[in-house]
Amino acid sequence: MTVKVFYNDVNVGDEMPAWSRQTDFMHWNRYAAVNDEFVPFHMDDEAGRKANNEQGAFGMGNLRYAYIVNALQDWIGDEAEIREVGCQYRAINQKHDVLTVTARVTDKKQDGDANLIFLETNVVNQEDQGTCPGHAVLVLPQRP
């Protein structure tokens, strides 16, 4: 049992360590297999082009969402909890994109027993384009 981040140690403006994945069919097919998400434009270049993406097949929004959740969870560890995560899908996840989840603390406050941290999040590609702006609320333990 290890606490990775204490509420007391987090300040507005702090940034979460970056968390990255280079995505392609190896990632998308595994995700399709667990989420039963065999949508043609995620599976096949021709279907992707028919869906107006000239580069072909593209990645699932749900997988990008999973990356945000995983990045937050890796940062805070198992003794803290994710209360809320939201995002908007603004750009396509192209094949071989390097996606990096970023998060910056925008606020912190105590609500009853809960020590809340508020963050603005995004998933940025290798061209530094934000593809998925959003927010998160975390509950962190307090340093004894």
Partner 1 sequence: MAELQESLVTEDMGTRKGVWSDGRRAPPIARSDIRRWAIATYWPEEPPRIYWDDEYAATTRYGSIIAPPDFNPFAWPVQRMRTPPGAAAAPDGRRLTSMNGGQTDTYGEPMRADDVITSRSRLRDWEERQGRNGLTLFVYNETEWRNQDDKLVRLRVSTGVQFEAGHKR
**Where on the chain is the footprint of partner 1 (CB under 8 A)?**
1, 21, 26-27, 30-31, 33-37, 52-53, 61-63, 65-67, 69-70, 73-74, 78-79, 81-89, 132, 134-135
CB of 26 or CB of 144, closer to partner 1 = 26
Quick check: helix, strand or coil at residue 37? Answer: coil
Q: How far is the CB of 139 from partner 1 (least distance, A)?
A: 10
**Residue whose CB is less far from partner 1, 11 or 111:** 111
Residue 26 vs 143, nearer CB to partner 1: 26
Q: Is 109 helix (H, G, I), strand (E, B) or coil?
A: strand
Q: Which residue has the tokens 């998160």?
A: 136
How near is the Cβ of 30 to partner 1 at its closest, in Å? 4
Between 14 and 25, name the residue whose CB sits nearer to partner 1: 25
Give min distance, CB of 95 to partner 1, in A: 15
- Structure tokens of 48? 């992707």
Cβ at position 68, least distance to partner 1 in Å = 9
Residue found under tokens 């969402």: 65
d(CA 69, CA 65): 6
Please state the closest distance from residue 92 (CB atom) to partner 1, in A.
Answer: 8
| Nearest residue (CB) to partner 1, 38 versus 46 | 38
Give which of 94, 97, 100, 98 is closest to 70, Cα–Cα: 100
- How many C-beta atoms lie closer than 10 Å to residue 54's C-beta? 7
Select from 94, 89, 123 the least CA-distant residue to 18: 123
